[in-house]
Amino acid sequence: MCGILAVLGCTDDSQAKRVRVLELSRRQFFFSLLRHRGPDWSGIYQHGDNYLAHERLAIVDPDSGDQPLFNEDKTIVVTVNGEIYNHEELRKDLKNHKFRTGSDCDVISHLYEEHGENFVDMLDGVFSFVLLDTRDNSFMVARDAIGVTSLYIGWGLDGSVWISSEMKGLHEDCEHFEVFPPGVLYSSKSGGFKQWYNPPWYNESVPSTPYEPLAVRHAFEAAVTKRLMSDVPFGVLLSGGLDSSLVASITARHMASTKAAKRWGSQLHSFCVGLEGSPDLKAGKEVADYLGTVHHEFHFTVQDGIDAVEDVIYHVETYDVTTIRASTPMFLMSRKIKSLGVKMVLSGEGSDEIFGGYLYFHKAPNKQEFHQETCRKIKALHKYDCLRANKATSAFGLEARIPFLDKEFINTVMSLDPESKMIKPEEGRIEKWVLRRAFDDEERPYLPKHILYRQKEQFSDGVGYSWIDGLKAHAAENVNDKMMSNAAHIFPHNTPLTKEAYYYRMIFERFFPQNSARLTVPGGATVACSTAKAVEWDANWSNNMDPSGRAAIGVHLSDYDGNSKVAVSLPPPKTVEDTPMMMGHGVVIQT
């Protein structure tokens, strides 16, 4: 992912202000302030009291796609972070326009010329952009539907509006700043926010479309293949769990047809990280051997992770416990991947939110509660897994693409009658059954059966259970009981309830001391990554509030109560073609 920074409508148009904007875009602090996001090229544009800066990570058209981008007469200026996967189709509809580059993002200024501000929903991709219309000095800002790209907005005392890919680009210069909401655009003409993304599932009403395995399969294959758009070497993150394994399997099948394969070779590279002997390392290697990828294992120790926590908090810009736990191994792995010359990876985030794959979904009381919880989880992704995937990789100039969060794929899955997603062990239906069944192909298997039906393992657990235990022990050495007894007075907002949370909060406050900064981080009760509402599903959970999957007592095979569980035995799988279609209310119709 690239990095963008814009200062719009400031009262100072002096050379000193231009230097300040450049400093914010390039300044060293651990790594460059925003340059770590885009190490390939820097660009800045000034028009009167408006400044647009860009740090580029070149994935598509690396030779000529430097930014900012312009229309034909340079009256429309755009700085953008992201990928527009349907740019070739959009170019065909813009026959009367001349494009300056082959960049996928070059279509944005021309779409604005044709449609004004009402073009954002035409973009199929992930993006954050600032567009300046120099003809009337107006501007618009937009962020992608789910918030895969990161974006913040702030306001200076002089009335200026600041936009930045990361909080560190504006927190020192703004009187107030906040997360720019996903699926929203901001217009200087109206002076406010407008929701551009409003799919049917957004109102959380229960859908009724029957489950068709092949429809799910085809939609996800399309989501993966469109993300293979790259002119540089890429790979896949492969933990050996269901989600990353399916991404790797589909990518391997289509690898030979990509531009990158023709230039860099058709054998897919896969990457996994974990403590020595961790579940992910074992499963990841097994899947890699099955798919025939060039597999790279990265081992880290608990101490390696602890040593990196401060850097992780600085880059990921959060004090949320589960995000930091999962970001640290990803941060360490990203550095290793980038050192191999890889600039883009595909990853498996988002599946658990849209399919209800977290282990606590076992306790969903009915299909309405199940569906509404998935809606809440998707809407909050930009605060958690998207934040982690984007910033932990961007810290080293690596881009992560997330096929499960494709707009069309989300619409397909979220239109299903949630009865088909419900977890029913007595019927052999474990979490994410509809996804597993969709890719259960006897004739041309995507994955080995035991991988296809492996129990959900959260990333921070899968890298090795002693990772979280080690973090807790380290925090206990640095936070004493007296500190905890006064936590509510020291941190009245999102008061840390554990020593681990207190430890992360201290580090975060040192880097980002502003009140606006602490308000950007979510809080509330959670168990096994649930929302606060879902905690009500099981009275026992209130006594064990931890985001680890092992907190799903009675569900996880190695949960915190110390009891070993018996894995769900599945009936002999059938091919998709033989699978009954699941209708609403549990009615099964054979096709």
Q: Is the pLDDT of residue 21 over 50?
A: yes
Q: At what angle do helices 465-478 and 499-511 cross, to 10 degrees?
A: 70
Of the candidates 320, 344, 317, 398, which has an alpha carbon nearest to the alpha carbon of residue 232? 344
Q: Is the pLDDT of residue 559 over 70?
A: no
Q: Indicate whether 89 belongs to any domain.
A: yes
- Pairing verdict, β 234-237 and 344-346: parallel
Annotated binding site: 104, 237, 273, 347-348
**Domain containing residue 128: CATH number:** 3.60.20.10
Q: Are residue 140 and residue 219 in the same domain, yes or no? A: no
| Angstrom distance (rounded) from CA 534 to CA 232 | 42
Q: Indicate whether 274 belongs to any domain.
A: yes
- The residue ranges of DSSP E strands in 98-160, in sequence order, are 125-133, 138-143, 152-155
Give me the half-sphere count of Cα atoms (radius 13 Å) on the Cβ side of residue 517: 25
Q: Are residue 331 and residue 423 in the same domain, yes or no? A: yes
| Angstrom distance (rounded) from CA 299 to CA 312 | 18
Q: Are residue 15 and residue 153 in the same domain, yes or no? A: yes
- Out of 56-60, 119-123, 319-323, least confident range: 56-60
Q: Is the pLDDT of residue 25 over 70?
A: yes
pLDDT, average across residues 253-279: 91
Contacts of 114 by beta carbon, 8 Å cutoff, 6+ apart? 94
What percentage of the chain reaches a pLDDT higher than 70? 85
What percentage of the chain reaches a pLDDT higher than 90? 74
Q: At what angle do helices 302-316 and 321-339 cross, to 10 degrees?
A: 100
3-state secondary structure of 589: strand
* Catalytic residue of the set 2, 105, 174, 272: 2
**Cβ distance 68 to 43 under 8 Å?**
yes
Number of structural domains found in the chain: 2
Q: Which one-letter amino acid corresponds to residue 511?
A: F
Range of the domain at 452: 215-472
Handedness of CA 99, 90, 389, 447 (dihedral sign): negative
Q: Indicate whether 161 belongs to any domain.
A: yes
Q: Is the pLDDT of residue 551 over 90?
A: no
Of the candidates 399, 378, 403, 131, which has an alpha carbon nearest to the alpha carbon of residue 248? 403
| Angstrom distance (rounded) from CA 38 to CA 169 | 14
Q: Are residue 256 and residue 123 in the same domain, yes or no? A: no
Ordered strands of the 399-401 beta sheet: 294-299, 269-274, 234-237, 344-346, 399-401
Of the candidates 44, 62, 6, which has an alpha carbon nearest to the alpha carbon of residue 399? 62
Q: Are residue 157 and residue 255 in the same domain, yes or no? A: no
For the question of residue 386 being annotated catalytic, the response is: no
| Angstrom distance (rounded) from CA 7 to CA 434 | 46
Q: Are residue 259 and residue 333 in the same domain, yes or no? A: yes
Which of 440, 472, 504 lies at the terminal end of a domain, its last residue?
472
Q: Indicate whether 335 belongs to any domain.
A: yes
Q: Indicate whether 256 belongs to any domain.
A: yes
Q: Are residue 392 and residue 451 in the same domain, yes or no? A: yes
Q: Indicate whether 527 belongs to any domain.
A: no
Q: Indicate whether 297 belongs to any domain.
A: yes
Entry pTM: 0.90
Q: Are residue 166 and residue 311 in the same domain, yes or no? A: no
Annotated binding site for L-glutamine: 104
Annotated binding site for ATP: 237, 273, 347-348
Q: Are residue 241 and residue 186 in the same domain, yes or no? A: no
| Structure tokens, 405 | 């969060």
Q: Indicate whether 536 belongs to any domain.
A: no
In which band, very low, low, confident or very high, does the pLDDT at 460 lie, cut at 50, 70 and 90? low
3-state secondary structure of 324: helix
Which of 417, 443, 472 lies at the terminal end of a domain, its last residue?
472
Q: Are residue 95 and residue 242 in the same domain, yes or no? A: no
Q: Are residue 177 and residue 284 in the same domain, yes or no? A: no
Q: Are residue 242 and residue 317 in the same domain, yes or no? A: yes
**Domain containing residue 338: CATH number:** 3.40.50.620
Given this model, what pLDDT does residue 501 score?
97
